[in-house]
Amino acid sequence: MSAKRRLVDTNLIVRYLVQDHEKHAKAAGKLFEACDRGDVEIVVLSAVLAECVFVLESFYEHPRADIAAALRTLISSPGVEISENAVHLDALDRYRKTKVHFVDCLLAAAARAGDTPVATFDEDVRKFGDVRIENEGPTSNQEKSESAP
């Protein structure tokens, strides 16, 4: 099974999307075509997705909506695996709709999916009304009542 799986890096994805290096873009295209045919499974790590957003935004200066749309299509494709796909799709939507950094959008999406508060001093995360911010641990009384039988 591992012979059919490929972990992909940021460079390969960016070359495929941007098409700015003919040889690399062609090779990446062949890999994604094999993925579309079901001949290979492509695995995208969360960190790679975040780095793709960063590179496409900062170096290539692509609009956020275009970045979100391209990466949404990519990670939604059959044959592409990313852990917690729904969380990453939510993060890309948050990124598209706001000016918040992608990693903060990912944090907010994961917090929402797991109904888990975020401990942060970052004001951007507070912009998401569906995310609870809790920077302090439970008080002694809360700990006692939560541990009581």
DSSP 49-74: HHHHHHHHHHTS---HHHHHHHHHHH
Question: What's the CA gap between 7 and 41, in Å, rounded?
Answer: 9
Whole-model pTM above 0.85?
A: yes
- Give the separation between CA 38 and CA 80, rounded to whole angstroms: 10
Strands of the sheet with 80-81, listed across from one edge: 5-7, 41-43, 80-81
Residue that is written with structure tokens 């109904």 in the block: 115
Q: Which pLDDT score, from 0 to 100, does residue 2 have?
A: 58
pLDDT score of 136: 87
Q: Are 82 and 21 in contact, with CB atoms under 8 Å apart? A: no
Instruction: Note the pLDDT of residue 43.
Output: 98
Residues of the chain scoring pLDDT < 50: 1, 142-145
20 contact partners, CB below 8 Å, separation of at least 6: none
Give the CA count within 13 Å in the CB-facing half-sphere of 123. Answer: 1
pLDDT at 115: 96
Task: State how far the alpha carbon of 110 is from the alpha carbons of 39, 43, 65, 89, in Å.
Answer: 31, 19, 21, 11
